[in-house]
Amino acid sequence: MVRFIVRRLLWMIPTLLIVTFLVFVAIRVGTNPVAAYLRLNPRASPEKVAQFKHVNGLEGSIPNQYFSWLRRFLTWDWPRSIAGNRPVWPNLKDALANSFVLGGLATVVGIGIGLVVGILAALRQYSKFDTAASTSAFVGISIPPYVSAVLLQLLFAVYFTRWLGLHHPFLPTSGVYPPGHRGFDIILRLKHLILPTIVVAIQIIAIYTRYMRASLLDVISSDYLRTARAKGISERRVIVSHALRNALIPIVTVATIDIAGIVGGLIITEGVFEYPGAGKFFLNAYTAGDFPSLMPWMVIVVVFVVLFNLLADVLYAWLDPRIRLE
């Protein structure tokens, strides 16, 4: 097991190099950093432009550019953002933290509810609960995140407020705290988190409900479950120790595939709700063509996804003894 992990981590390095190189080329060619810089700093002197080009490694051939960027990135000598000439890392750090809070909360809530509903739906197949749960899950994956975001905003910010005769919106629809607020207030923080969390969680719940239900149904109709019943053990043992134990294995694969989807949902949700997370960070940087901000973001996302995949593979092998890791 340890050898497997070490080997995978070692493989990560060339993979990351190749992927970041491709991303670098794509973004470098796609955005035009110099033009973007000039757009945001129209009165920059030629020396400043040259310095900008130098600092961002925009001279020379593409591979040279990549390696000079890489060198600066790894030595923590990051160029400053185009917009406002601010260092990238502090903003990025805060944005990542905010996204972890939102994403983490939505994931915990989403997976928790999704698995439970999926299990219950499978155990009561064809019942009203099952039909309702399956249909809801189906509708859930059919609603694009921005649609649910807008509709929820409409409902909670506008209509609830009106119906309840409040001055302030019933549930806030933007930001982390009301404008001008200082300091840390858990209640306010949670209030601002409610709507975005719901939006992200809807997708998660829908996916996990469907997959858990399908996986458990599959296991329930398997031969070894019939054998378990033939032993005369209690039904609860059959379900928990035999059925669930095996049904949870494919769910791990779902989690792997889904992580990119969750990040995508975060981006959209943060965009609609003006939530200052990594998603909003990306949208801002992209719109401005802010190359120095985009590249670190990309690297972090790729590393995160690759590490997550590794974790899921290890978990999968641990759960399923048929998978030999060597």
User: Where on the chain is the footprint of other proteins (CB under 8 A)?
Assistant: 19, 22-23, 26-27, 29-32, 138-139, 141-147, 150-151, 153-154, 157-159, 162, 217, 221-224, 226-235, 242, 245-246, 249, 257, 260-261, 263-264, 267-268, 271-272, 282-283, 286-287, 298, 301-302, 305-306, 319-322
DSSP assigned state of 38: H
Nearer to other proteins, 176 or 217 (CB): 217
Tracing tokens 């019942």 back to the chain, one arrives at: 127
Nearer to other proteins, 194 or 249 (CB): 249
User: One-letter amino acid identity for 253?
Assistant: T
Rounded Cα distance between 203 and 208, Å, is 9
Report the nearest approach of other proteins to the CB of residue 96 (Å). Answer: 15
Nearer to other proteins, 182 or 252 (CB): 252
Q: Which two tokens stand for residue 68?
A: 């000079």
Tracing tokens 């309840």 back to the chain, one arrives at: 164
Report the nearest approach of other proteins to the CB of residue 154 (Å). Answer: 5
**Ranges of H-type helices in the chain:** 2-30, 33-40, 46-55, 62-74, 88-123, 128-142, 145-152, 161-164, 186-220, 223-230, 235-237, 245-273, 278-288, 291-319
For residue 120, count CB atoms less than 10 angstroms from its CB and return exposed for 0-12, middle for 13-18, buried for 19 or more: middle
Report the nearest approach of other proteins to the CB of residue 157 (Å). Answer: 7
Report the nearest approach of other proteins to the CB of residue 182 (Å). Answer: 25
Nearer to other proteins, 138 or 181 (CB): 138
Nearer to other proteins, 167 or 187 (CB): 167
Report the nearest approach of other proteins to the CB of residue 223 (Å). Answer: 4
Nearer to other proteins, 48 or 132 (CB): 132
Rounded Cα distance between 189 and 11, Å, is 40
Report the nearest approach of other proteins to the CB of residue 231 (Å). Answer: 4
122 neighbors 213 (Cβ within 8 angstroms):
yes
